[in-house]
Amino acid sequence: MKKYLIITYGCQMNENDSEKISGMVEELGYSRTEDEKDADLIIMNTCSVRENANNRFFGNLGNFKKLKKKKPDLILAVCGCMMQEGHIVKKIKEKYSFVDIVFGTHNISSLPSLLEECDAKRKLIVEVLEDSDKLAEGLPVHRQFKHKAFVSIMKGCNNFCSYCIVPYTRGRERSREYQNILSEVRELANDGVKEVTLLGQNVNSYGKNLDDPVPFAKLLKMVSEVEGIERVRFMTSHPKDLSDELIEVIRDNPKICRHIHLPMQSGSSRILKLMNRHYDKDTYIKLVKKIRREIPDVAITTDIIVGFPTETEEDFLDTLDVYKKCEFDTAFTFIYSKREGTKAAVMDGQIDEKTVKDRFDRLLKLHDEIVLKQNKKYLNREVDILIDGKSKTNDNVLTGRTSSFKLVNFTGKGETGDIVKVKITDVHTFHLSGEVIE
């Protein structure tokens, strides 16, 4: 039996695409391996959101050159966001011509026919589409977990935040018909899935381009009503589009998880304007306060970029100030990375490395303090945990998440996919500890 290895970089959207790619190649008769030496087909699903993901990809790709020499029949396919960038495909053609197949984000469903073509021709095949109206429905899926699943509800992004490559690599925003989403969720529930995570670059604008528009809040409610589904998560919310209706739907529906990921990117109104985010410091803080008032047990997490072009010390202090005022449960912090083709890449005032590093370290220090303070609120509380399995480092410890997405390691009885009551006995910056009480 032929074997395939898939390597995925980047976000959950890419993880979800990789699950579909895996499902398709398994239908062709390949079985999965984690060992590159065993593989007859290696697929690399790439990410372009920041420079270091690009570098890691090219580093790994370079290493496969030797393998390919030893095993000339090995098929090497590269796909994902980076392949939507012309200069990357050019580089592959020129310097990495041992690659067999290049395809993009809009045509993952073409992989079976590209593999067939590759078998026949044995030379580099490139098929990258600029954009696509179509959303492939009903692709086979190899899911990573039995008890939880990703469901992408839309693709693309129309926001053109000035630092971001995504609108160029994932194309224009398109929503799936809600009927298709619901039937996928029903199938997952029949298959034993307890938790679904609805994915989109900007879920709050879901449904706007459908013939029969359906607001995201309504979709969320419908998904949470599917029998067998115990928890519904979603990502990512854009602060400019988060409606009061959505806050109410979350508040009134215990199956919808108490977690909102709300990227702020910067605390400075001046930088937010340059980023093309369509909100300012005050509106963002007010939104967070409103969410916390309406849904008291909610966790709010965020994304922050440090060192956007022209960022001054004063702008950075605004970011720290918003962090303090919003008391995030956690944050993903990034150093600004210049992406070719974006508006920010040609802005004057790129910030020097030393200044950025200093700001980044100060942000991390505040982050750790506030995250720990937020986690301390959980001490001695009883929480429901969906069990993800055994801890990687200790077989006697189980691990799972609260509705608010806090990672909890705990002792007691339970199986993967069970929801158990756990009492929190200790807290740390990156996880909570506890024991099953029921």
Binding-site entries = 11, 47, 81, 157, 161, 164
Q: Residue 338, SS3?
A: coil
Q: What are phi and psi of 112, to 5 degrees?
A: -55, -45
Asked if the bond preceding 236 is cis, omega within 30° of 0, the reply is: yes
CA 156 to chain centre: 13
Q: Which region among 82-90, 188-196, 333-341, 422-430 touches ligand 5AD (by CB under 6 A)?
A: 333-341
Q: Does 49 bind ligand 5AD (CB under 6 A)?
A: yes
Asked if 405 and 380 count as a contact pair (C-beta separation under 8 A), the reply is no
Kindly list the strands in the beta sheet with 330-335, ordered across the sheet, starting from the edge strand earlier in the chain: 259-261, 299-306, 330-335
**Closer residue to ligand SF4 in complex, CB, 110/169:** 169
Q: Which residue has the tokens 């997405």?
A: 405
Q: Binds 167, which of ligand SF4, ligand 5AD, none (CB < 5 to 8 A, cut-off by type)?
A: ligand SF4
Asked if 108 and 17 count as a contact pair (C-beta separation under 8 A), the reply is yes
Asked if 246 and 285 count as a contact pair (C-beta separation under 8 A), the reply is no
Give contact residues for ligand SF4 (rule: CB under 6 A). 157, 159-161, 164, 166-167, 201-202, 238
**Closer residue to ligand SF4 in complex, CB, 277/401:** 277
- Binding mask 339-358 toward ligand 5AD (x if CB under 6 A, else -) reads x-------------------
**Closer residue to ligand SF4 in complex, CB, 18/202:** 202
**Which stretches within 109-251 are classed as H helix?**
111-121, 166-169, 178-190, 216-224, 244-251
Alpha carbons 168 and 137: distance in angstroms, whole number: 22
Alpha carbons 177 and 171: distance in angstroms, whole number: 18
Q: How far is the CB of 201 from ligand SF4 (least distance, A)?
A: 4
**Closer residue to ligand SF4 in complex, CB, 160/332:** 160
- Token pair in block for residue 123: 């030379």
- Binding mask 246-275 toward ligand 5AD (x if CB under 6 A, else -) reads -----------------x-x----------
**Closer residue to ligand 5AD in complex, CB, 198/408:** 198
Q: In the complex, which residue's CB is closest to ligand 5AD?
A: 303
- Of positions 30, 98, 103, 163, contacts ligand 5AD by CB under 6 A: 163
Kindly list the strands in the beta sheet with 41-46, ordered across the sheet, starting from the edge strand earlier in the chain: 31-32, 3-8, 41-46, 75-80, 101-103, 125-127
**Closer residue to ligand SF4 in complex, CB, 48/399:** 48
Number of residues that bind ligand 5AD (CB under 6 A): 12
Q: How far is the CB of 421 from ligand 5AD (least distance, A)?
A: 33
Q: Which region among 58-66, 109-117, 329-337, 385-393 touches ligand 5AD (by CB under 6 A)?
A: 329-337
Question: What's the Cα-to-Cα distance from 64 to each of 82, 123, 302, 390, rounded to whole Å?
Answer: 18, 17, 36, 33
Strands 330-335, 299-306: pairing is: parallel
Q: Binds 339, which of ligand 5AD, ligand SF4, none (CB < 5 to 8 A, cut-off by type)?
A: ligand 5AD
Binding positions for ligand 5AD, rule: CB under 6 A: 49-50, 163-164, 263, 265, 303, 305, 334, 336-337, 339
